[in-house]
Structure formats: C-alpha cells, structure tokens
Structure 1
C-alpha cells in the first residue's frame, strides 16, 4: 500500500492556491482555524463563528478533510476558541472525507513538563469521547477520525486504551504532535510508530499530522500501517523564498511552492533511504517530587486529569488557577493531618 499525502491548504478562497490544488487532484486538508471568523473590535481577537460560505469553493478538489487546529489553538490562543458543539457543527456542514477529533498537542513549546503532558493527554481523551458522542448524535460518527497524543511511545498507548475504540468500526486514527519530533531517540518518530505498530490490531491505519519531509524516507516498511501524512510546510518555504528574493509572498508564489513540495514528498515516499532500523525501547522513569507543595501540585493534577477523563470537568475548562487552588486544599489537608 502507498502512503498518501494530504496537502494542507491555508484557506479556501478562490485564487491561485485553490486552482493549483484542483489541478493537482491531491487530497487536501483544511484547518478549522482557516474557516474561522474573527473580530478585533474589543482590541483582541474574538471568535465569531465559521466561514461556511467558503466550503462551496471546495468543489473540484479530489477530497477535503478537516483538522481541529489543535496546535494553532494552543500556540496562538492558549486554548480552543470554540466549544466541542461548535466544532461538530462545522464538521456536519460539509461532507468531509474525514474530520479529526479535537485534541491537545504536547510539543515542548506547548507542554513544558511531564505533568503538563499528562494533563493534555487526559484532555485529549475527554475531547475524543465528547466528539464521538456528539458526532453520533449528528449522524457523522462514521467520518470522525480519533486522534491520540503523547510525548513517549507509551503515552500514545495510554491514550488508546482510554478511548476503548471499536476496531470493527474504526478504520484509522490520527497521531498528533509529530511535526516537531526528532526521527530518532526514545521519544522519536520511529520509536512511537514502532510501538504503535506492535500494539495495534492488523488493519488499523494511521494518519500522521505534520511529519516533516526529511523524515518521510524513514517510514519505509510501515506502509502497511500508515495511511497518510499531511503538511503545510511549503508555506514556510514560500516565505523564505520571498524574503530571499525581496518579493511579496503572493498566493501565486505559494501555489508554486505547494506543487513543488508535493512532488518532493511523493518522491521521498517512492524512494526510501534504505532499510529502517527499529528504535530500541528506552523508558525514562519519572522522579517524584520531595517538596510537599510540589507533591500537592502533582496530586492535584492527577485528580483533575481523572475528573476530565470521567467527564466531571470539561476538556476546555482546566486552568492553571484551578490546579493551584486544588493543590492548596490538598496541601492544607496534609498539614492538618
């Protein structure tokens, strides 16, 4: 089986980029953020809903999938500006090839420590369960792609176990936090994919979000497991090219880079670098804190994670202030006891 490439589109406005995507007849991916309406009237970005009219422009594309924009939401807005019901309304408004569950990425610039990684995995679990329930109510569950998150290989397994997927109905799942990941090492791309390949049932395929082009040749031997990859990295290349040449980064320039980038990715997948060596498993033990306040923080985070997964706290609602208040209660109880 050949690994597919989805071309990430920055928008669905009529023009050179969309025309080129139609001409290329490559499957495409659009981010929920690209379909968002915003206002600056209050002096800060205020989310107003979706630009549903742009979806009419998707005609002529080979296919279109929808991403929840997890990384952009965290990096730019420090959380999802929209609720689960809002996102599902967007997913139901167009016959997307698939739409990804909302998820909470764990790249180092988003999740700086181990506790934050664990918290975001719990929120990903709850977001998946909420999206599944809501999609079932809307009759679009068959197009929902679950998304798993993690930093270490075993994190992804933990996420999978908690989702309790019906493998007879789930054809593929998305694997998040791939775009800034090293290829090698105990938390590298190969270690994660080898681990998932060992534990997943035969026939359950993976979509890898944002795998960098230089890593694609390393996927040799995993085409039985990887359905597709996506990226919008050509936009960065277009910006660099425009800066170097001293010209504007027009949609015409971006469209040229999109076509060239797609050709390179397809070539990389067709010409792997050789036999891929599996990455040996190397678990990194966690050191528990000794300071009483830090112990209270760890316990508070663990209890909040469980509440999120159980649905007692919404995945969109956790804040640093909550954690500190929760920990303060634990800390006072420990002192009183």
Structure 2
C-alpha cells in the first residue's frame, strides 16, 4: 500500500472494539461537556448538526476542540434532518432533506478525523414515513445516498493517489459506516440487501466491519413486530460474516439485554442530558454545565455496569 498512482484495496470502514461500547452523545462541537467526557475517557458521539451554521449554510470547525483528542464517532444528523430541516421546507442538500450536500459532509468528516463516521441516511420512525407510507422510499434513498458518497470518495481517492502513497489515501479518506434503516424486520432486511448491493459494487472496499442500525431510539423495545429485540433477533444470522452493528440511540435500560447479542458492537445516547434537565426542574435548580456533567458521570457509570458481564448472563452463541 505504499505506491502512488493507485487507490488501496480492501479498505476497512471502522475498527471495532472487542466488547460492547457505549458512546455518550455531546450536543456541542466543544465546551465543558466535551472536556468532562475527555477527562473521564468516555467515547463520544457528535452530530454533524453541531458544526452546521444555518446563517452561512456551511460547517464551522473550531480551530481547537477537545473532541479532536477523543475517541469520537460522527453522526450524519438524519433525525435532525427530519425534525428541524424539513419543517423549513425543501433543503438545498441531499434528497432535499439535508441542508448540506454529500461532499460538504465528507469534508467535515475528513477535517474532524473521527474514529468513524456514519453515512447519510433517512430515518424511518412513523413520524417520518407518514405511518409507513414513505418507508420504502426512505430505505431506497438511504442506499442511493450511500452510493453517492462512495462515488465521491472513490473519485477523491483517485485524484489524491496521484500525489501520495496508497497508505496516506486510506488514512485520510476513509469509507463511512453505512446505516441500515427501517421500522419492522422486513424493512431492515431489505435495507441490508440494498446496502450490501451498493457496497459490493466498489471493489476497493473490504466488507463493512461496522454498520449502523438506525431508527432504534423511539420505539417499544419488546413489541413483537417493530421492537428492538424483534429486529435484532431477525438479523441474527443474516448479517455478513464478521460484521457488527452500532445501534443508534438504544435506551439505557436495554443495555443489559442488548449486550447479549455478539454482533452488537455498541450504541450511543444523549439520555443523560434529558435526565439532567428533568432533575434540575424537579429540584428547582439551574441546569448548569456542572450539573449536566455530574449527571453524565452517574449515567455512564450505571450504563457501563449494565454492559459488563454478570453471573447468569445468557449470551447468544454465534454459529
């Protein structure tokens, strides 16, 4: 992988940890919450929306942020695209839903240099799909957006490889973590098939080591059709060999069960911040950064305890 003039083959999209990892969501592009997470060694998830300036309609990356020295994953802000951007009407960016284009998002990812970054996707909660009417379109559009991003990355890599080694190309212009979308199991299986069809068209990619599982945070965990565990049970044995999942926004109370699935690599949550607001309101105190930081620590300690192996755990076997 040292020669110039060619892009590297078998590029890996993420380094997957040995055991399940919980990332704490940071709502800002820096600041005291990020410093607190840094000081405690927490892996972090940050949204692209934190860096977006709606006035200039561009991403603003601070000259220095503690996030630059942390284990950070970048989320494409698909849910924010639904709740915030669409309320303002058609957007200038991807699918008319995002306010930024593929290339702008990729530039942000390559400037931030996160541990991994999610591909742009379209969430499939009922509120986004008009009760399921638009689910199929959003699944197909998510695969189309992945194709668009991979085409751009490949073109950038080919140009970059004219001047630098293939190793540098692979380090500087990494492929994204694709996101599997849906509401019920059949949706996710269709999304998985479309995602792999797109991915396999790009010969320079290794099979994805990590894939995101989207639209998991706002649902009944145990519903027989659209519950998280119904989805995970249905995906068991259907994922390509070696692939693991990052489950976006899984509730903390579910972690002691989610950890039983050997193909789940991790999750993320900003639940601590909601808890901080509620506790501050109930106590009649200001929801200061110090208060939010304390709640973050307590919340992460409880969540990490839930993810640790315990006597009597019934871990699922992989065949």
Give the alignment's TM-score, normalised by structure 1.
0.74
Is the CA contact 1:135–1:144 (under 8 Å) kept in the aligned structure 2? Answer: no
2:20 equivalent in structure 1:
3
2:53 equivalent in structure 1:
37
Is the CA contact 2:35–2:66 (under 8 Å) kept in the aligned structure 1? Answer: no
2:85 equivalent in structure 1:
77
Moved over 6 A (4+): none
1:60 equivalent in structure 2:
69
- 1:244-277 superposed Cα distances (whole Å, 9 cap, x missing partner): 1122222211111111111111111115685489
Q: Which runs of 5+ in 1 are unaligned?
A: 40-46, 278-337
Matched, 1:182 2:220: yes
Select which of 132, 137, 148 maps to 2:180: 148
Matched, 1:124 2:142: yes
Select which of 187, 190, 207 maps to 1:158: 190
Shift of 1:220: 4.1
> Which structure ranks higher in relative contact order (CA pairs < 8 Å, sequence separation ≥ 6)?
2
Q: 5 Å matches for 1:150-299?
A: 150-163=182-195, 164=197, 165-166=199-200, 168-184=206-222, 185-222=224-261, 224-270=262-308, 274-275=313-314
Q: Which runs of 5+ in 2 are unaligned?
A: 1-17, 87-96, 158-171
Distance 2:238 2:64 in 1: 38
1:20 equivalent in structure 2:
36
RMSD: 2.2
- 1:47-98 superposed Cα distances (whole Å, 9 cap, x missing partner): 621121165432432x111100000110111131112222111112121111
- 1:119-142 superposed Cα distances (whole Å, 9 cap, x missing partner): 111111111111222223334663
Matched residue count = 268
- 1:161-203 superposed Cα distances (whole Å, 9 cap, x missing partner): 1122348332110010010122221221111112222211221
Q: More displaced, 150-159 or 112-121?
A: 112-121
Structure 1 residues 115 and 95 mapped into 2: Cα distance closer, same or farther (>3 Å)?
A: same
Distance 1:238 1:13 in 2: 19
Distance 2:315 2:155 in 1: 43
Give the alignment's TM-score, normalised by structure 2.
0.78
3-state SS, counterpart of residue 69 of structure 2? coil
- 1:12-57 superposed Cα distances (whole Å, 9 cap, x missing partner): 3332x12211111121111011111123xxxxxxx62112116543
**Greater Rg, structure 1 or structure 2?**
1
